[in-house]
Chains A and B, each alone.
Chain A
Amino acid sequence: MLEIKELTARSDDGNDILKGINLTVRPGEVHAIMGPNGSGKSTLSSVIAGNPKFIKTGGTLRFNGEEIDELSPEERAHRGIFLSFQYPVEIPGVSVNNFIKTAINEKRRSMGLEDMPAGELLRMIKEKAALVELDPRFLSRSLNEGFSGGEKKRAEIFQMAALAPSLAILDETDSGLDIDALRIVANGVNKLKSPENATIVITHYQRLLDYIVPDYVHVLYKGRIIKTGGRELALELEEKGYDWLIKDYQ
């Protein structure tokens, strides 16, 4: 599904951040990407989703066999990539309902389909809101405006449920969440899991991986994946920190 080879990228202020990433994600898999601050985790997710703040300088980035470097973020979204933001943006005056309606219909138009009939859309939105235990009253509120940290993340997973991506990237979805919110968000992600879709979970802490169980754990350091293992690697990191790996690497 996702095939990344020797990927290098720099930020628009000229810093080389990714220095040769290799990563393959197949349908049905859950990958966790861990690593200390500043190792390039968020940059990797930004580059996959097409954030214009980062410039790919080398390597290949393929999604379902197609080179996606030249595609706009919306074209990548239409092909099934979803990025959940660490800091979702507040948009006063645009309701959650209206936002998701626009997103869904723009995707349908890109596929040559008619807009989703209003009744069907409404039913689907209600059903997905229930899935992440999002209070329906939030749907008519301005997107993310005045939402608590947990509500923002829930709104992100709600959008993910409504857009039904084949590859979901969750960037530090656990940051700032209490244990209840974490459980709800993780449950939402787990319910959306299928043999056809894949998830990349970017996280600092092992904690989230108690709820979303990864098939692979990758440790990113200074722009490279320095170790890949199974779930037990995350537990080992929790216990020993990153230092032993970094020492080995240096």
Chain B
Amino acid sequence: MQNSKYIKINEDLTTIKVEHDSRTTLRNTGQAESYLLLCSGSHSLCLTVEKGADVTLIEASDATPDFCYEIHLESGASLRHVRIDLTDKKTRYTLHQEKDSRYEMSLISLCGNQENLFTMHSEGEGTDTRMCGFTYGQAAYKVKNTIRLHHHKPHATSYQAFKYVADDKSRLSFDGKIIVELNAQKIEAYQKNNNILISEEAHIASDPQLEIYADDVRCSHGSTIGQLDADALFYMQSRGISYKSACGMLIRSFADEPLSIIKEDWLREQIEDIIASMLK
């Protein structure tokens, strides 16, 4: 059985349908716009977000087994990208950011095997890139995120935070590298991967890396692996909250960074419900 979890889209969203090799440009309408990305097969998409546009892209469809994107953010464009994975997927993904553009992603994986390769290029000064992920590994699912984030230009910022919870016999892996080119002075780039092992049979591989050629930058990376905090659990239980609910609250808390990127209450609440239902 692959999946009994699904996301109900109950908002009026403009739909972008991906068929074969689609090309789409999202225009600057002078106001924030939200789109739903629908893809029903092994296709590719080349998406351009026009200069100054402010766009949200929501991807919660369960029929994208093999997908290839290329996203271009023109100068000053802003894209918030929310992706919920509930089925098997394989994604190759390339991002190009021009001057002063902003990219923010929340990647939520709750079910299925996934293999994602993200290649990101900051190609203009003043770009900001934020990638936050939450993966709840269950059963024998394998999830692998590979990230190559290239800083080509100075005065840019990037931030990555991937939160993994590994249950059952799941195998989760994080392979992230920030590459700062010689020319990319004065950048700030941070990366972290925090993991919670719930089951003794689960497996986590964490490999955060920095490759820095410039000499005037601020970069850090880190990785942690642990269990649910016993003191926090006792604190909540002492207030009458059951062990199971307390675990759920702690996991919700652990996932706060990626979830807080999702401003759509109807969507975030469904994700919270799915997470709560996954605890045994």
Contacts and interface: CB of A to CB of B under 8 A. Distances in A.
A64 interface: no
A74 B237 contact: yes
A199 interface: no
Contacts of B22: none
Interface string B244-272: 01000110110110011000000000000
Q: DSSP class of B's interface residues: helix, strand, loop or mixed?
A: helix
B240 A163 contact: yes
Contact of B256 (A76, A77, A92): A92
B242 A53 contact: no
B85 to A, nearest CB: 21
B253 A94 contact: yes
Contact of B240 (A51, A91, A93, A107): A107
Contact of A53 (B230, B245, B253): B230
B241 A74 contact: yes
B213 interface: no
Nearest to B231: A89
Contact of B253 (A77, A91, A107): A91
A104 B234 CA distance: 16
Given A52-B230, A102-B245, A106-B245, A73 B252 contact: no
B278 interface: no
Interface residues of B, number: 23
Interface string A70-82: 0011101110001
Nearest to A77: B240
Contacts of B242: 74, 106
B8 interface: no
Contacts of B256: 92-93, 142
A236 B238 CA distance: 34
Given A74-B242, A77-B240, A88 B253 contact: no
A78 B235 contact: no
A89 B249 CA distance: 13
B249 A77 contact: no
Interface in A44-96: 49-53, 72-74, 76-78, 82-83, 85, 88-89, 91-94
A4 interface: no
B231 A74 contact: no
B277 to A, nearest CB: 16
A106 B255 CA distance: 23
B239 A91 contact: no
A37 B230 CA distance: 23
Contacts of A43: none
Contacts of A102: 241, 245, 249
B229 interface: yes
A78 B237 CA distance: 10
Contacts of B253: 91-94, 142
A91 B238 contact: no
Contacts, number: 77
B260 A72 contact: no
B249 A51 contact: no
A72 B237 contact: yes
A77 B241 CA distance: 9
A3 to B, nearest CB: 20
Contacts of B239: 77, 82, 99, 103, 159, 163
Nearest to A73: B237
Contacts of A53: 230, 234
Nearest to A83: B238
Nearest to A74: B237
Given A91-B250, A93-B253, A103 B240 contact: yes
Interface centre among B234, B237, B240, B241 (most CB of A within 10 A): B240
A211 B242 CA distance: 34
Contacts of B252: 93-94
Nearest to A98: B249
Nearest to A80: B240
Contact of A93 (B231, B241, B260): B260
A102 B229 CA distance: 19
A147 to B, nearest CB: 14
B259 A73 contact: no
B232 interface: yes
A83 B235 CA distance: 9
18 contacts: A50-B237, A53-B234, A72-B243, A73-B234, A77-B239, A77-B240, A78-B240, A85-B235, A85-B238, A88-B235, A89-B229, A89-B231, A89-B235, A91-B249, A92-B256, A99-B236, A99-B239, A102-B249
Query: What are the 10 A-B residue pairs with the smallest beta carbon separation, nearest first?
Result: A93-B256, A77-B240, A73-B237, A89-B235, A103-B239, A107-B240, A89-B232, A93-B253, A74-B237, A92-B256
Given A53-B230, A73-B237, A99-B241, 17 more contacts: A50-B238, A72-B237, A74-B237, A74-B240, A76-B238, A77-B240, A82-B238, A83-B238, A89-B231, A89-B232, A91-B250, A94-B253, A102-B249, A106-B242, A106-B245, A107-B240, A142-B253
